[in-house]
Amino acid sequence: LRIILNFNMAEFDSDAQTLNRYVMASTKDHELVILMNAIATSCKLITSAVQRAGIAHLYGLAGEVNSTGDDQKKLDVLSNDMMINALVNSGVCAILVSEENEEPIIVPEGKKGKFCVAFDPLDGSSNIDCNVSVGTIFSVYEKREGSDGSAEDLLRSGADCICAGYVVYSSAVEMVFCFKNKPVHGFCLDPTIGEFVHTRKNMVFPANGGKTIFSCNEGNSVHWDQAIKDAVDEFKSGSKSYTARYVGSMVADIHRTILYGGIYIYPADHKSPKGKLRLLYEGIPMAMIIEQAGGIASTGLFNGKIQRVIDLVPEQIHDKCPIIMGGQRDVQVVYDQYKKQGAEVPELSAAAITHEE
């Protein structure tokens, strides 16, 4: 029985589907419910810290660098601690990998479980001091049979990833995630009840390709290969008029790309031949979400060939990868330029999308 009442323009739902309820109904896996609850709890804490950053004097640098040499902000450190504490104490994790920690975090024996989680606790944190959208990204694996939990359990391709998601902290706080081979769903944090509530069902790219938007950091264009330069020139001056939109927070740019359509590009180049984004906790989870929303997640030309991001196997926990993600219409523009340069280009085919009630 569902009753929706309207009082003073506020809507109340007596049967709201919360995150925990959705995960239980979808998987019947109690440990996965606990894991997603721990991630949600840490993201609620991060929400509070982000919203109170100015008042609590959390802007600025912490005076340290992370695993890949980036300067850490105070909120980076705090968000990282929040996620680690929530996941370690959930009782269902074996090993954690964070962008902010050079080494993997091994969960103590008495608290170990079956899941291995890689995460970027605060993506786009260079924007935090000017109040621009930031986010959290995560990927979840199960440890190998017979393993006690080691980095090897995470050094696998996205084919073994069982869950991927991100949270965007902005005018609203939204968690978007999917389970392996399942549709993408979105949950909005309702601050009045402190719960993520199901608000976006079966998220997919617009059927006609959506808005003509390209998103990239053109400040790096001097280092790009010719195909990427030509593709961006095509977006800017071709027969279809494209609009440039680049936030600089991967979560915000990808979220917009899924909802509105378009393409997000962060390619390998002469300055960064392996790309700039981290494979385990940026590339693979976003690729899984993009593909299961009906989009394309490609590396572009990388290590001599064009590949799917989700097929890459990391050799180290902080390995990087290049990214070309978007709808089939727009990724095809990039592929056409690679073909003109003589590269072997695979046929594009968006993933089949499973629809649920």
Give the 3-state secondary structure of the chain: CCCEEEECCEEEECCCCEHHHHHHHHHCCHHHHHHHHHHHHHHHHHHHHHHCCCCCCCCCEEEEECCCCCEEEHHHHHHHHHHHHHHHCCCCEEEEEECCCCCCEECCHHHEEEEEEEEEEEECHHHHHHCCCEEEEEEEEECCCCCCCCHHHCCCCHHHCCEEEEEEECCCEEEEEEECCCCEEEEEEECCCCEEEEEEEEECCCCCCECCEEECCHHHHHHCCHHHHHHHHHHHHCCCCCEECCCCCHHHHHHHHHHHECEEEECCCCCCCCCCEEHHHHHHHHHHHHHHCCCEEEEEEECCEEEEHHHCCCCCCCCEECEEEECHHHHHHHHHHHHHCCCCCCCCCCCCCCCCC
As a residue count, the chain comes to 357
Phi, psi angles (nearest 5°) of residue 250: -55, -40
Q: Please identify which of the residues 29, 70, 129, 336 carries the catalytic annotation.
A: 70
Catalytic-residue membership of 357 = no
Catalytic-residue membership of 99 = yes
Catalytic-residue membership of 123 = yes
Tell which residue, 136, 119, 351, 97, has the closest CA to residue 254: 136
Q: Please identify which of the residues 35, 58, 99, 189 carries the catalytic annotation.
A: 99
Q: Where are the alpha helices (DSSP H) in 145-197?
A: none
Q: Please identify which of the residues 19, 75, 122, 259 carries the catalytic annotation.
A: 122
Greatest alpha-carbon pair distance for the chain in Å reads 64
Q: Please identify which of the residues 120, 230, 291, 330 carries the catalytic annotation.
A: 120
Q: Please identify which of the residues 32, 100, 153, 280 carries the catalytic annotation.
A: 100
Element (H, E) at 323: strand 323-326
Specify burial of residue 257 (Cβ count, 10 A radius: 0-12, 13-18, 19+): buried
Q: Please identify which of the residues 195, 282, 291, 330 carries the catalytic annotation.
A: 282
Catalytic-residue membership of 160 = no
Q: Please identify which of the residues 19, 58, 75, 123 carries the catalytic annotation.
A: 123
Catalytic-residue membership of 282 = yes
Which residues are identified as catalytic?
Answer: 70, 76, 99-100, 120, 122-123, 282
